[in-house]
Structure 1
Amino acid sequence: MWAIKRYPLLWLLPALLPVAAFIVYPVAYAFWTSLHQVMLLFPGEPFVGFDNYARVLTSSYFRTAFLNSVVFMLLAAPLVVILGVSAALFLQRRFAGSMLVRSVVLLPWVLPGAISAVLWIWVFHPSFGIINGVLLGVGAVDTPIQWLNTPRLAFACVLVAHVWTQIPFAVVLTMAALSAINSETLEAATIDCRNGWKRFWYVVFPEVKAMIVVLLIYNALIAFTTYDLVYAMTGGGPGTATTLLAFQIWRESFAMYDFGAGSALAFVMVAVAALLIVLITRALPSDLFGERP
């Protein structure tokens, strides 16, 4: 009892032990793996230091995967936030069937990534996809469009699927921020300003801008580290058109059985994501989340 009073952190041991078991140990083991040559096809695990990191960073596939991930992030994060905020503003209104529409909008949130990928494969499949069926039916095209077999189109298809899966979370958080706005303020703004865009920009946006920035940061990180849709929809192809860093980690580890390089690439991606967080945070205005005391 005396030890607990003197060292209150002992009370946290029941919570810290599972954290250490399920988070600290796997991360530490992954870092150990990144410093060794761990290949399933070769016996032994010799220490190689940072050779895995050097090999990963100087490879041609890293440059391609990194650029794909950055472009994907720069496109996906703003699209999710813009569409999510727009949907939230629409769903805040009361109209017939509003609850049903809200349920439909939130549906992608409860679907696992693999199931969402299968749904979008049905949409974009060259042979039996819904889009090609409609386009061929109305005579807009003569031959099926190879959505998932053309590099730029495949990248756009994965981007659309990713945005679709992430919009519900943005809608929920934005609606929560909108519900916190004083109703009297909104009524006064409606009376004083008939222009909906100006009303949003000068009245609503200042109240929800902190939430919008949080959503931008969150969706930037989610887009930069996305994996499941790429794996299920395109397998990183055609070629390397949709190969993102997270998918390349899987490819190094479980396709090439080079767990050392895969672990090194994972820590490189974590370092890049941490750098992005720091840069975005430093770029934010100091009064974004309220005045500092």
Structure 2
Amino acid sequence: MWTTQRFPAIWLLPALLPVALMTIYPIAYALWTSMHSVLLLFPDTPFTGIDNYVRVVKSGYFLDALYNSLLFTAIAAPLVVVLGTLTALFLQRRFLGSKIVRSIVLLPWVLPGAISAVLWIWVFHPSFGVLNGTLRALGAIDGSIPWLTSPKLALISVVVAHVWTQIPFAVVLIMAALSAINSETLEAAAIDCRSPARRFRHVILPEIKPMIVVLLIYNALAAFTTYDLVYAMTGGGPGTATTLLSFQIWKESFSMYDFGTGSAVAFIVVAISAVMILAITRALPSDLFEGD
């Protein structure tokens, strides 16, 4: 007899099959493409094996793009988690206009990446940017700081813009984790521990640590694979200062029209992302998620 107890997976097939078709097939096709010479102007697609991967690794841009991607991730992901946690702790308090402030904090989350990039170009533009204008008005600078045209400053500017777009999601999840803490536990902690820093360290942090870890992993992946914001703000420049591996996927595929090499770069990004997740999870204490 066909029952949900004996064959539960069968009843999930109507939902699982479309998901599988929309994920497994594109991944399999991209893997096939990465092992063939797929050029838009040539109809033939000869098998190349790992030649596309070797070409990518030996290319002049790969090491710079890999370094920029890892540096971008190492800076952006922890910043998002730390600032998101601090913002969530602040918004948990009740004060006049707290609901309005919460709505404003969530605004960057609903903006498309291209619009966010335009806003931050307006802030960082060397000539008419709001930041340089404010600094000149305060007498802090005489000229203009080349935020988007200096290699080091351009990467910092892009990191700031990316962190701004990702903080709202972190705030929502941390606030959800904070709301799940027993109110009696918080009241007892407020009585026994007068210092807010010690209260957070010994009472609140252990309760929300699993959510912080999930956010760290998510934001590491989001930072390592970000594309639209960087492309719209700097186009990967100046030079290769903000060229990320995700940006190079687009460049190989839609600028050079070499979809085989572009797919190879994509799978290299996937492999590095998997290693990154494994490294983060292996570094965690084994009892972190016990009881959650």
Q: TM-score, normalised by structure 1?
A: 0.94
Task: Give the match for residue 132 of structure 1.
Answer: 132
**2:15 maps to what in 1?**
15
Distance change in 2, residues 1:132/1:211 (3 Å) = same
- How far 1:15 sits from its partner (Å)? 2.3
Partner Cα separation in structure 2 for residue 48 and residue 42 of structure 1 = 15
User: What residue number does 2:204 align with?
Assistant: 204
Q: Shift of the alpha carbon at 1:11? A: 3.8
State the alpha-carbon separation in 1 of the partners of residues 41 and 234 from structure 2: 27
AA partner of residue 233 (structure 1): M
1:31-180 paired onto structure 2 within 5 Å: 31-180=31-180
Which residue does 2:265 correspond to in 1? 265
Correspondence 1:25 to 2:31: no
Q: Summarize deviations over 1:244-284 as a string: whole Å, max 9, x none.
A: 11011111111111111000110111011111111211221
Alpha-carbon distance in 2 for matches of 1:81, 1:17: 35
- What count of residue pairs does the alignment treat as equivalent? 292
Gaps of 5+ in 2: none
* Paired residue secondary structure (1:286): coil
Q: Distance in 2 between matches of 1:194 and 1:120?
A: 40
Which stretch shifts more, 41-50 or 277-286? 41-50
TM-superposed deviation, 1:190: 1.2
Find the aligned partners of 2:167 and 2:2 in 1 and give their Cα distance: 52
Distance (whole Å) between structure 1 residues aligned to residue 271 and residue 24 of structure 2 = 17
Give the Cα separation in 1 of the matches to 2:2 and 2:131: 71
Deviation at residue 2 of structure 1 after TM alignment: 7.1
Shift of the 4–85 alpha-carbon distance from structure 1 to 2, 3 Å rule, reads closer
**Aligned mates of 1:274, 1:286 — CA distance in 2:** 19
Match of 1:213, as an amino acid? V
Question: SS of 2:143's equivalent?
Answer: coil
Provide, for residues 159-201 of structure 1, a one-character-per-residue CA deviation record: whole Å limited to 9, x for no partner: 0000001101111111111111111111121122221111110
Write the letter of the residue equivalent to 2:199: R
Gaps of 5+ in 1: none
Q: Measure the CA separation in 2 of the matches of 1:24 and 1:32.
A: 12
How many angstroms does 1:94 deviate by?
Answer: 0.5
Instruction: Work out the CA distance in 1 between the residues paired with 2:118 and 2:177.
Output: 33
- Give 1:3 deviation, angstroms: 12
Partner of 1:234: 234
Q: Which moves more between the two structures, 89-98 or 6-15?
A: 6-15
Secondary structure of the residue aligned to 1:60 is coil
CA drift of 1:41 comes to 3.4
The aligned residue for residue 195 of structure 1 is 195
TM-score by length of 2: 0.95
Distance apart, 1:17 and its partner CA: 3.2
- What are the Cα deviations for residues 87-146 of structure 1, in whole angstroms up to 9, with x where unaligned? 011001010010011111111111111111111111001121101111222332222211
Distance 2:147 2:94 in 1: 38
SS at match of 2:126: coil
Q: Distance in 2 between matches of 1:184 and 1:43?
A: 69
SS in 1 for 2:61: helix
Mapped partners of 1:21, 1:266: distance in 2: 20
In 1, the alpha carbon distance for the partners of 2:47 and 2:6 equals 42
Moved more, 201-210 or 282-291: 282-291
Q: Deviations over 1:59-113 (max 9, x none)?
A: 2211111111111111111100110000011001010010011111111111111
* Counterparts of 2:209 and 2:45, CA distance in 1: 50
